[in-house]
Amino acid sequence: MVIDFNEMLDAYKRILKIPSMSAKGTGINEAASFLKALLKNMGIKSEIIQTSGNPVVYGEYFTGAPKTLLVYNHYDVQPIDPENEWTHEPFAASEDHGRIYARGAADNKGTLMARIFGIEKALENNELHVNLKFLYEGEEEIGSPNLKEFIVKNKDRFAADDVIMEGSQVGEENRPVIALGVKGLLYVELKSRTGTTDLHSSLAAIAPSPAWNLINALDSVYDNNKVEIPGFYDNITPLSNNDLNILKDYPFNIERMKSSYGLKNFMFDDKERIIKELFTSPTCNIAGIISGYAGEGAKTVLPAEAKAKVDFRLVPDQDPEIIFDSMKDYLRKMGFDLEMNPLGMEYPVRTAPDTELAQKMISSAIKTYGRKPIIMLNSPGTQPMDLFTRELGIKNAVSAIGVGDNISKAHAPDESVSIENFRLAIEHTKNFLSEFQ
């Protein structure tokens, strides 16, 4: 099946018109069927596989090459609220000044479709030198609650050497963004409870305070920009020269970023230091802390409970499970009586810049966009890349080839994609595949 760009755009608009909102349960089967048929029409074996939640669309195309590449995307989208803030119908896929407006235009249907068409072009030109597998999930926007179980159950089916993940975009100066990994995450809830009920604060003379208990515990965990949990820094992989060069090349305008974040200051003045910290330092952040009375005016009360949520972003090869256990032991040994629950654990991933996957992604980006890509050693954020690297044993993972840009407004009203970026992502996919083997 040979189709031209207008037909590709048309197919893109057709999937955008399917309101596949996982949070609402609409359009899910329709979107999955659409994708299954699309792959099938390209000569790619495809099927819809049921999970404990929304179905996965699986596809495979074997060339007999030694290497297998897995392509991961999601067909579900965010809900459209606040609906009255859309100036373009969210599921009409209307064109306006060279952009297509729809929920999911960027996140993630545009990327998904551009990749399919790039693959189709590579097939058409006989330029595919790897086997391909496709995993399209339908629950990414609600946190992929069933993906791990599904992947673990289907390990053989999804076995591959490399994977391209979903999240990427065209960044500043129209340079495509390539993330060679992600930071990991340990999210912990800490609770201190000293009694069954709040008390008159005169009793602070004789009754313990959960708020002080919690604050002191947090102070023992993190002090002067350093995490005090034993062994926390032990498994951090030293940076290679290639890694350092990538950091050096990262574009970062301190003044502009300060104003875009609405910050008075960063913690560091030196640009090189800021970039290094952003991508390669683990963090310990208090995401929320709550206890007692914090409303208008004064109320003298000794609260019965204090609660904090703390997230640690981790870098290769820190292990969230080991760190959580170590944190529990450490605080217990120090005498803190706390309830500690892990609310999330994800492992960090970093693909070496000199791997074939990274190299060919970079060279094809230069060829396609005519400029250097913005390379992140790993995203400063987290996505479940570890499902692929740890559960499936895939060696290399990158986030690359995305269609969104800085004004795409993913998750917000008037989400949109530039048609030119859609076209470029198709070319990027094709150029990557023609080089990758």
- CB contact burial 309-345 (16+ within 10 A = b; e otherwise): bbbbbbbbebbbeebbebbbebbeeeebebebebeeb
**Which residues does 391 contact at the CB level (< 8 Å), separation at least 6?**
148, 151, 152, 155
Nearer to Zn ion, 334 or 412 (CB): 412
CB of 74 vs Zn ion, minimal distance in Å? 8
> Which amino acid belongs to residue 28?
I
CB of 89 vs Zn ion, minimal distance in Å? 20
Nearer to Zn ion, 323 or 403 (CB): 403
Point out which residues pair with 356 in neighbouring strands: none
CB of 168 vs Zn ion, minimal distance in Å? 12
CB of 433 vs Zn ion, minimal distance in Å? 25
CB 381 within 8 Å of CB 417: no
Rounded CA separation 22/54 (Å):
8
Size of the site for Zn ion (CB under 5 A): 1
**CB neighbour class for 123 (10 Å; exposed up to 12, middle 13-18, buried from 19):** buried
Nearer to Zn ion, 107 or 414 (CB): 107
Nearer to Zn ion, 15 or 246 (CB): 15
- Spell out, one character per residue from 49 to 88, where the chain touches Zn ion: x when CB under 5 A holds, - when not: ----------------------------------------
Of 103-111, 283-291, 371-379, 418-426: span binding Zn ion (CB under 5 A): 103-111
Nearer to Zn ion, 107 or 311 (CB): 107
Residues of this chain, 142-161, that bind Zn ion according to CB under 5 A = none
Closest CA relative to residue 359, chosen from 177, 180, 239? 180
Closest CA relative to residue 140, chosen from 180, 181, 111? 111
Strand-strand pairing, 162-165 and 68-74: parallel
Q: Is 107 in the site for Zn ion (CB under 5 A)?
A: yes
What would the two tokens of residue 247 be?
Answer: 């950091």
Of 8-16, 100-108, 320-328, 375-383: span binding Zn ion (CB under 5 A): 100-108
Residues of this chain, 352-391, that bind Zn ion according to CB under 5 A = none
Rounded CA separation 163/182 (Å):
13
CB of 396 vs Zn ion, minimal distance in Å? 23
CB of 410 vs Zn ion, minimal distance in Å? 6
CB of 108 vs Zn ion, minimal distance in Å? 6
Of 102-110, 171-179, 308-316, 416-424: span binding Zn ion (CB under 5 A): 102-110
Q: Is 415 in the site for Zn ion (CB under 5 A)?
A: no
Of 87-95, 104-112, 121-129, 304-312: span binding Zn ion (CB under 5 A): 104-112
- Spell out, one character per residue from 198 to 237, where the chain touches Zn ion: x when CB under 5 A holds, - when not: ----------------------------------------
Nearer to Zn ion, 107 or 386 (CB): 107
Of 83-91, 106-114, 124-132, 342-350: span binding Zn ion (CB under 5 A): 106-114
CA pseudo-torsion sign 348, 349, 353, 358: negative
Q: Minimal CB distance to Zn ion: which residue? A: 107
Binding residues for Zn ion, rule: CB under 5 A, are 107
